[in-house]
């Protein structure tokens, strides 16, 4: 993603991205048609060492939509999310196979720089993780390391405005980020993520450490951000998925014949339909609380 003269976002290919590999699986049950597919997972398998943690996931992510991933603990939601911007590369023994494309280009192709991938596909974590630096320096961090140092103050302001935090911090930009409340810290992390103008934001349970008021604020913010960004969120909170997302992927876990536990995608559909009329009984059992 590059910033043009008017400050609007323009798509730019990631240097070194080659055309996508052939997909191995048959695709998911539902393809969002309203907007273009930005990220496309096809037949994705993820191992941690010998453990085959996630099996055969196919999932298209549509532009300017919120795609939610829900499911019981340990079914692989975070693992799949991390594979979308190559964060799993940082985990020793983690291996992703199958095809994950960004605008049709394979993000795992040789020659693709994972740091460039993460600049286009940013991430916000479960627990707000501001650096022990000032509010300004937290937001400026990614800009500096990516060489985006022109108009630094303006870019920081825009990111803080985009994360709905500017009015609360504009007079205290030199204050330590660690002095902010939990909800403010999470919005600061969102500002840090959007400062480098990514196209996609991955959010791994961004509200799980927040109180209901701070959670509502982040949910409201997500509905504003989705006008400019494509968002994928992992959440334990089904009500949250139902409230904020356009499409929902329900994951579950099973044990294979060898006794090994693995996660897989059960159903992917428009959020409203998945929650009101799921096509798989396992989804219905989960959303109605009968899962056991």
Ligand X SMILES: Nc1ncnc2c1ncn2[C@@H]1O[C@H](COP(=O)(O)OP(=O)(O)OP(=O)(O)O)[C@@H](O)[C@H]1O
Positions in the binding site for ligand X (CB under 6 A):
48, 53, 71, 73-79, 91, 236, 263
Judged by CB, which is closer to ligand X: 73, or 239?
A: 73
Judged by CB, which is closer to ligand X: 60, or 263?
A: 263
Of the chain, the end-to-end C-alpha distance in Å amounts to 44
Calpha distance 41→108 (Å, rounded): 12
Judged by CB, which is closer to ligand X: 124, or 140?
A: 124
Calpha distance 157→7 (Å, rounded): 13
State the minimum distance, in angstroms, from the CB of residue 179 to ligand X. Answer: 29
Judged by CB, which is closer to ligand X: 157, or 285?
A: 285
Which residue stretches of the chain are H helix?
77-84, 114-120, 135-145, 152-162, 166-169, 182-195, 212-225, 238-244, 271-276, 281-287
Calpha distance 262→74 (Å, rounded): 8
Q: Could you tell me if 75 and 251 are in contact, meaning their C-beta atoms sit under 8 angstroms apart?
A: yes
Task: Indicate the angle between helix axes 182-195 and 135-145, nearest 10 degrees.
Answer: 20
The Cα angle at residue 101 between residues 262 and 118, in degrees rounded to 5: 90
Phi, psi of 147 (to 5 degrees): 70, 20
Judged by CB, which is closer to ligand X: 82, or 187?
A: 82
Calpha distance 122→192 (Å, rounded): 9
Calpha distance 249→25 (Å, rounded): 17
Judged by CB, which is closer to ligand X: 236, or 243?
A: 236
State the minimum distance, in angstroms, from the CB of residue 44 to ligand X. Answer: 13
Summary count for the chain: helices (H), strands (E): 10, 13
State the minimum distance, in angstroms, from the CB of residue 186 to ligand X. Answer: 17
State the minimum distance, in angstroms, from the CB of residue 264 to ligand X. Answer: 11
Q: Which DSSP symbol is given to 13? A: P
Judged by CB, which is closer to ligand X: 78, or 185?
A: 78
State the minimum distance, in angstroms, from the CB of residue 59 to ligand X. Answer: 14
Token pair, residue 89, equals 């590369």
State the minimum distance, in angstroms, from the CB of residue 7 to ligand X. Answer: 36
State the minimum distance, in angstroms, from the CB of residue 248 to ligand X. Answer: 14
């Amino acid at each position: 993603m590059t910033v043009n003269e008017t400050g609007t976002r323009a798509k730019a290919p990631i240097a070194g991205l080659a055309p996508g590999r052939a997909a191995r699986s048959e695709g998911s049950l539902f393809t969002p048609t309203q907007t273009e597919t930005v990220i496309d997972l096809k037949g994705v398998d993820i191992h941690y060492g010998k453990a085959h943690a996630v099996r055969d996931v196919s999932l298209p992510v549509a532009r300017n939509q919120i795609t939610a991933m829900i499911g019981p603990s340990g079914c692989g939601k975070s693992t799949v999310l991390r594979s979308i911007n190559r964060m799993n590369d940082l985990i020793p023994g983690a291996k992703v196979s199958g095809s994950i494309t960004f605008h049709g280009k394979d993000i795992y192709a040789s020659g693709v720089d994972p740091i460039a991938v993460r600049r286009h596909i940013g991430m916000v974590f479960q627990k707000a993780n501001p650096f022990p630096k000032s509010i300004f320096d937290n937001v400026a961090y990614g800009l500096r390391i990516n060489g985006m140092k022109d108009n630094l103050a303006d870019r920081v302001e825009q990111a803080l405005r985009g994360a709905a935090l500017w009015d609360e911090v504009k007079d205290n930009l030199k204050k330590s980020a660690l002095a902010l409340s939990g909800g403010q810290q999470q919005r600061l992390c969102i500002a840090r993520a959007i400062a480098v103008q990514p196209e996609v934001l991955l959010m791994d349970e961004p509200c799980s450490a927040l109180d209901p008021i701070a959670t509502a604020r982040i949910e409201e913010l997500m509905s504003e951000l989705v006008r400019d960004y494509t968002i994928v969120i992992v959440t334990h909170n089904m009500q949250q998925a139902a409230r904020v997302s356009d499409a929902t992927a329900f994951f579950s876990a099973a044990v294979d014949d060898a006794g090994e536990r693995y996660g897989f995608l059960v159903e992917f559909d428009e959020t409203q339909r998945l929650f009101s009329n799921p096509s798989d009984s396992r989804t219905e059992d989960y959303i109605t609380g009968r899962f056991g």
